[in-house]
Amino acid sequence: MTAVPSHRSQLVELTADGLRSRLYEALGLYVTAMGYPKGTAEQRAPMWLAHMLREGWRCVAALDAADRLTGICYGYQGSPGQWWHEQVRRGVIEFDGPGPADEWMSDYFELTELHVRPDSQGQGTGEHLLRLLMEGVPNGRVLLSTPEGRTRAWRLYRRVGFVDVLRNYRFAGDPRPFAVLGRTLPM
């Protein structure tokens, strides 16, 4: 991947070292975009660092003219034993049985995070980040989870072909309902 202009942002691939050097800037963007309390960044930092070690991890970012993050997007190959994988698999089995769980939960890329700074939303940055991240992903599917509700994120995911895998699911430790969405690759 190389730098690609996207409206007012430049899209770039970040290595693990590149994201580590901008970790708290990226987490600040995440907290703002998701509306989480301020202490969330410190709680999430170890998880983001651990994700960078997973097979197939890749990350892209949007930078403004002053080299500030306006968007962040990363993911990796999902596999048994990972917290998200186990949570989603259990939910799909409860709702739809083991067949659909086996179909969706094998050979997939987990789109772990996709966030655009609120003052930069609505300019196509999220879709550009998503498409750039998915370029060349060797997996047959991509899966993600997102809070339920009509948001710009929902419109993006529907527009690019994501379908329902699991709806109104409650992950351990978060009282909000989430949807798990998926689509086949390539995009």
- For residue range 27-49, list pLDDT tens digits in order: 999 999 988 888 899 999 999 99
The CATH class for the domain spanning 4-184 reads alpha beta
CB 34 within 8 A of CB 115: yes
- With a CB cutoff of 8 Å and minimum separation 6, the contacts of 25 are 68, 69
Q: Kindly report, residue by residue over 47-66, the tens digit of the pLDDT.
A: 999 999 999 999 999 999 99
Contacts of 45 (CB under 8 A, 6+ apart): 23, 24, 27
Tokens for 169? 């699911």
Quote the pLDDT of residue 173: 79
Partnered with residue 74 across adjacent β-strands are: 59, 113
Residue 36 annotated among the catalytic residues of the structure: no
More confident residue, 150 or 156: 156
Out of 30, 76, 108, 157, the active site residue is: 157
Do 104 and 87 touch, CB atoms closer than 8 A? Answer: no
Mean pLDDT of the chain: 93
| Banded model confidence at residue 1, pLDDT cuts 50, 70, 90 | very low
- Global confidence as pTM: 0.92
